[in-house]
Amino acid sequence: MDNLIIDGTRQTPEINFDSETGILKLEGRSIPENTFEFFTPVLNWLDEYANSAPGKTIAKINLEYFNTSSSKYILEILKKLKVLLNDGKEVLVEWYYEEDDEEMMETGEDYEDVSGLPFKIISFEEE
């Protein structure tokens, strides 16, 4: 299975999903003009990934900002990861936020509650 690599722009996040290592990175800003068009290939890749996923998947989500329509797709990504967990695979979501961005930290906590996935909420200092 091919990896999914999408270069980030000012409006779309960088996506680097590695099917062999199980490390799925989502980084940057997510305010695409057409969220459906941007995220559909991501969700389709995750459907295929579920068929051959390694024993452990780590989703590293490090978004500085995302809009409401992106938040719905982030939840869809988490739902697809929940399928892996339900199939007996190990899944961890690493949710990164800037140390002073309390809202992003709370958003990660909310996603943890809603998704039922294990999260590690990680703060970092802004460079």
The radius of gyration of the chain from alpha carbons, rounded to an integer in Å, stands at 14
| Angstrom distance (rounded) from CA 52 to CA 49 | 6
CA distances from 91 to 20, 32, 50, 59 (A): 14, 27, 12, 8
pLDDT at 125: 86
pLDDT at 87: 95
pLDDT digits over 60-98, tens only? 999 999 999 999 999 999 999 999 999 999 999 999 999
- Cα dihedral 13→19→22→23 (10° resolution): -30
Class in CATH terms, 4-124: alpha beta
pLDDT digits over 8-64, tens only? 999 999 999 999 999 999 999 999 999 999 999 999 999 999 999 999 999 999 999
pLDDT at 127: 61
